[in-house]
Amino acid sequence: MTERPAFVRRTPQEPVALLLSGLLGAPVDETVLAEAFSARAEAPAAQAPAEPTAAQPTRSAALDDLDERVEALLIAADRPLDLLTIAGAIDRPVAVVRQAIERIREDYDGRAGGRRRGFELRELALGYRLYARPAHDESVRNLLEIETAGRLSQAALETLAVIAYRQPVSRGQVAAIRAVSVDSVLKTLVARGLVVEVGRSEETGAVLYGTTDDLLVALGIRSLGDLPPLAPLLAGVEGAHADAR
């Protein structure tokens, strides 16, 4: 019987392959088998392929929607809003609202990767409110001066209200109701196109004044009939109205 040459292989192989080789009749060197098992034990475990997971964006659509809702409240409010008020308005926990506030502040300050805005979200004693940044005070001041120049004074507003509710009305009747002279104020209203001469009194010949359609546009109403009832607030006006005739 011819002796088969010993099969010696020093390159580590998979143990399972070596055992199968032995079962099939091929000689297996025990040293080689030991090396194969040793190499397998020392080799780093193969990492299992990661299960596919949905990509998680840095900022989800849900957070964007939440932050937008908080911003809408801050813009619409005419006073500082505290966390509890905001949470109640959007039906979310206070802790979630606090996180949204911080994200919004970082965004406005340019800390979230975008540019810094011309306004900021300030935390006050009573809550949070949007303000123009102090760096732009001069521009804001210029705007306020322009708008103030275009606004009506309190005296003009009161005179306009009397004319709107009592028209056609004479200068003397308006003065009697307000208990002050209305000459300059009336000129301002006429110049602004809010008041116009509508005729003369048959009894005294005094000029009668009424409002124009521009007032309706400014108030956002269709007709003078849409004005709220004012009679309960003007007790004694009828007497002054009659005395001024």
Mean local confidence (pLDDT), 75-100:
94
Q: Are 112 and 65 found together in one domain?
A: yes
Residue 45, pLDDT above cutoff 80: no
Q: Are 126 and 170 found together in one domain?
A: no
Q: Are 182 and 226 found together in one domain?
A: yes
Q: Which of 81-85, 203-207, 214-218 has the lowest mean pLDDT?
A: 214-218
Is 226 among the domain residues? yes
Residue 100 is predicted with a pLDDT of: 95
Compute the mean pLDDT over every residue in the chain, rounded to the nearest whole number: 77
Is 17 among the domain residues? no
Q: Which helix (H) or strand (E) holds 85?
A: helix 83-90
Q: Are 159 and 238 found together in one domain?
A: yes
Residue 8 is predicted with a pLDDT of: 46
Q: Which of 104, 136, 168 is the last residue of a domain?
A: 136
pLDDT band with cut points at 50, 70 and 90 for residue 90: very high
Q: Are 118 and 176 found together in one domain?
A: no
Q: Are 130 and 176 found together in one domain?
A: no
Residue 211 is predicted with a pLDDT of: 92
Backbone angles phi, psi at 190, to 5 degrees: -65, -40
Q: How many domains does the chain have?
A: 2
Q: Are 196 and 130 found together in one domain?
A: no
Residue 38 is predicted with a pLDDT of: 61
- The domain that holds 93 is classified in CATH as 1.10.10.10
Residue 122, pLDDT above cutoff 80: yes
Q: Are 235 and 159 found together in one domain?
A: yes
pLDDT band with cut points at 50, 70 and 90 for residue 244: very low
Residues 71, 81: Cα–Cα separation, whole Å: 11
Domain assignment of residue 74, given as a range = 61-136
